[in-house]
Structure 1
């Protein structure tokens, strides 16, 4: 008889871990060691559940690379003790956090499922219970005594997405996330259906490697009609800047005015990596498709293809630490490392 999967809940902060004090109406952090008492339905799952909480829950707006490292180390320390992990964070920055964690884990062979909620766990109409219950069920799911999911996922409102393909699109609806360039890995209805074709396969038996060193001397530069040379120059001249995610129009188009291109050329010559991503929710950068992006390719701007902005900044933080040559950096950035971009 197969043993029950052992699942670890890692609570970092966020709305999902809040309950209301009905005397004061104030929200306070929930004790996840009492999770079964709060959600007795969890006892119906065929698994054992333990939890770890950050000493001081972090509001998602305050998340930074030190917290990413703390999440990664928590999983690393417990990796051999558990069969799956459910990480609870605030939804506002969940796509950024989970995308970065996906790059930090190399040779991952177990599920790491991020989830949260729009309403606190104690609210009458909360989405927290369903998101948490199904995330644990996904983390438990096995075939032939091996986990079905062996990558970093994000589960919200009946859908499991590849985490590094997601963006938060709504601050009020329960369906808060989208993944327009990659289909859901699983969908929850009457049954929990896995879309096996789209799930990453754990083809390796290598040991887990956790890449904890991230470079956060990066910036997102979003273009808009009327942007001035003074604005672009001030951003590209930030002290110690190492990388820029350039949010362009449509399929990767940007102004072809001399001042703009010259500023980019100077930055790239200084060794700053510039990645071209589209401002559109869906679709891909195709540098050279239109005349306004031909020059970008010529001067060394890297194509982000169909990567999300959240994943683009995460990948920059991850790759910049490796001190790659310009040629190697472009090769690895434009290559899919964790399923974050589509390859022809």
Structure 2
């Protein structure tokens, strides 16, 4: 089937003539680093001099302001408090700016994008995360293209309404739905993939927009910013040779409420009695166990094989084609909202922000 693209050009009549106001939020990461050529060390980029150092931004038809975390955070140190802080920044400036670009380290960017998608309910403006594999001051850096295009995407309007109205992740010429992404490469510029959902834009000579893949939120609903996340969650990846002691030690973790279980293929797991009994006992005690595939693409089909039929009988939650990053952050969000145990399975198996098919 041929993809239908909408090409945005400066002369298109339906584009807004009013300049978009974009807020750039630097949280940390490689993209915000420049090299001190005297010492060879990397130091934080001064975003107050953004337009001076990247004059290409002056060619964009938008006004860009920037703020930074007081202390830039390496993405490996990102935690739930930082996610809530980013959400609060967006809440504070939501009426002032037309779009937001979040600069973030790439290692945990998919987790942050997923978390923000759940924290920002009824989002009606673009929140675009981007970063880079090389510092912004390097000769061969990918930072400038990622930054410039992310800002351009955030500023796009059609009939005075933002084209993107969700949390996206832009990297290496493609815009993805944030909660559908996974980092797949630590070395190549194409660091992210969205195996189960098509990219929403592609940057070439023009920005090609696949409108049919964009979320279409209800414009009449007010954006609600959630500020509670419950971290009593864990991820366990199955592997041949996993022992009863390992499984029991995880399931008996004090105050653990949700376990994201990365199973084989389309949701398959061992059928040994000790394994199934351990899960059965955990569910009886009130733990929510979510079945997600450890494959990079595809999803869980509970009951397709005998090895997942038993999990279905135990009322294990069907993660379908959700990513592990989205599964764990969705669980944190749902626990934080105080959803009852009776409703948890039903709501989790329902797509809230386009995170599953």
Instruction: Classify the TM-score, shorter chain.
Output: over 0.9
Aligned equivalents of 2:310, 2:153: Cα separation in 1: 46
SS at structure 1 position matched to 2:108: helix
Which range is displaced more, 202-211 or 104-113? 202-211
SS at structure 1 position matched to 2:260: strand
Partner of 2:148: 133
Deviation of 1:235 after TM superposition, in Å, equals 0.6
Deviation of 1:221 after TM superposition, in Å, equals 0.3
TM-score by length of 2: 0.95
Aligned equivalents of 1:149, 1:210: Cα separation in 2: 18
Partner of 2:180: 165
The one-character-per-residue Cα deviations of 1:77-125 (angstroms, maximum 9, x if unpaired) are: 0000000000001000000011000000011000000000000000000
Unaligned runs of 5+ in 1: none
Q: 1:270-285 maps to which residues of 2 (within 5 A)?
A: 270-285=285-300
Which range is displaced more, 150-159 or 30-39? 30-39
Q: Quick one: which of 95, 99, 112 aligns to 1:80?
A: 95
Aligned equivalents of 1:47, 1:202: Cα separation in 2: 24
Q: 1:28-67 maps to which residues of 2 (within 5 A)?
A: 28-67=43-82
Partner of 1:97: 112
Deviation of 1:321 after TM superposition, in Å, equals 2.1
Deviation of 1:323 after TM superposition, in Å, equals 3.2
Aligned equivalents of 1:8, 1:99: Cα separation in 2: 20
Deviation of 1:272 after TM superposition, in Å, equals 1.2
Partner of 2:302: 287
Unaligned runs of 5+ in 2: 1-15
Partner of 1:205: 220
SS at structure 1 position matched to 2:24: strand
TM-score by length of 1: 0.98
Partner of 2:331: 316
- Is 1:221 aligned with 2:236? yes
SS at structure 1 position matched to 2:138: coil
SS at structure 2 position matched to 1:92: coil
Aligned equivalents of 2:75, 2:36: Cα separation in 1: 21
SS at structure 2 position matched to 1:114: strand
Aligned equivalents of 1:144, 1:204: Cα separation in 2: 14
The one-character-per-residue Cα deviations of 1:251-277 (angstroms, maximum 9, x if unpaired) are: 000001111111111111111111000
Deviation of 1:7 after TM superposition, in Å, equals 0.2
Aligned equivalents of 2:47, 2:36: Cα separation in 1: 16
The one-character-per-residue Cα deviations of 1:118-171 (angstroms, maximum 9, x if unpaired) are: 000000000000000000000000100100000000000000000000000000
Counting matched residue pairs gives 342
